[in-house]
Amino acid sequence: MSRPGSHGTLLTVAPTGAEHAKADVPQLPVTLAELVRTAQACEQVGAAMVHVHIRGADAKPTLDLGLLKETVAALREHTDLIVQLSTGGAVTDPEADRLRVLDALPDSASCTMGTVNFGDDVFLNRWEFVVALHKGMQERGIVPEYEIFDIGQLASLRRLLDQHGLPAGGKVHVDLVMGVPGGMPGDAETLVAALRLLPEGASFSATGIGRTTLPVMLTALAAGGHLRVGMEDTISYAKGQPVRDNAQLVARAAGLAKIAQRPPLSPAQARALLGVRSPVQV
- Which parts of this chain interact with ligand KMH (CB under 6 A)? 17-18, 86-88, 90-91, 110, 112, 118, 123, 147
Which span (29-37, 85-93, 101-109, 208-216) binds Zn ion, by CB under 5 A?
A: 85-93
Which span (4-12, 81-89, 192-200, 235-243) binds Zn ion, by CB under 5 A?
A: 81-89
Tell the smallest beta-carbon distance from residue 228 to Zn ion (Å): 9
Q: How far from chain centre, in Å, is Cα 226?
A: 11
Residue with smallest beta-carbon separation from Zn ion: 86
Quick one: 209 or 224, whose CB is closer to ligand KMH?
209
Residue 213: contacted member of Zn ion, ligand KMH, none (CB under 5 to 8 Å, by partner type)? none
Tell the smallest beta-carbon distance from residue 61 to ligand KMH (Å): 8
Rounded to whole angstroms, the Cα distance separating 96 from 86 reads 14
Rounded to whole angstroms, the Cα distance separating 96 from 152 reads 25
| Site map 35..54 versus Zn ion, x via CB under 5 A | --------------------
- What secondary structure does DSSP assign to the chain, as a single string? ---TTTTSB-EEE----SSS-TTT-TTS--SHHHHHHHHHHHHHTT--EEEE-EE-TTSSEE--HHHHHHHHHHHHHH---EEEE-SS--TT--HHHHHHGGGG--SEEEEE-S-EEETTEEE---HHHHHHHHHHHHHHTPEEEEEESSTHHHHHHHHHHHHH-PPTTS--EEEEEE--BTB---SHHHHHHHHTTSPTT-EEEEEE-GGGHHHHHHHHHHTT-EEEESTTT-SEEETTEE---HHHHHHHHHHHHHHTT-PBPPHHHHHHHHT--SS---
Tell the smallest beta-carbon distance from residue 91 to ligand KMH (Å): 5
Tell the smallest beta-carbon distance from residue 120 to ligand KMH (Å): 12
Quick one: 52 or 224, whose CB is closer to Zn ion?
52
Quick one: 12 or 190, whose CB is closer to Zn ion?
12
Q: Which of 71, 79, 86, 205 binds Zn ion (CB under 5 A)?
A: 86
Tell the smallest beta-carbon distance from residue 49 to ligand KMH (Å): 13
Rounded to whole angstroms, the Cα distance separating 277 from 251 reads 26
The strand pairing partners of 13, in sequence order, are: 50, 229
Which span (78-86, 116-124, 158-166, 263-271) binds Zn ion, by CB under 5 A?
A: 78-86
Greatest Cα-to-Cα distance within the chain, rounded to the nearest angstrom: 47
Quick one: 67 or 91, whose CB is closer to ligand KMH?
91
Tell the smallest beta-carbon distance from residue 88 to Zn ion (Å): 5
Tell the smallest beta-carbon distance from residue 255 to ligand KMH (Å): 26
Q: How far from chain centre, in Å, is Cα 20?
A: 16
Q: Residue 9 interacts with Zn ion (CB under 5 A)?
A: no
Total of residues contacting Zn ion (CB under 5 A) = 1
Rounded to whole angstroms, the Cα distance separating 9 from 127 reads 31
Quick one: 88 or 114, whose CB is closer to ligand KMH?
88
Judged by the rule CB under 5 A, the positions of this chain that interact with Zn ion are 86
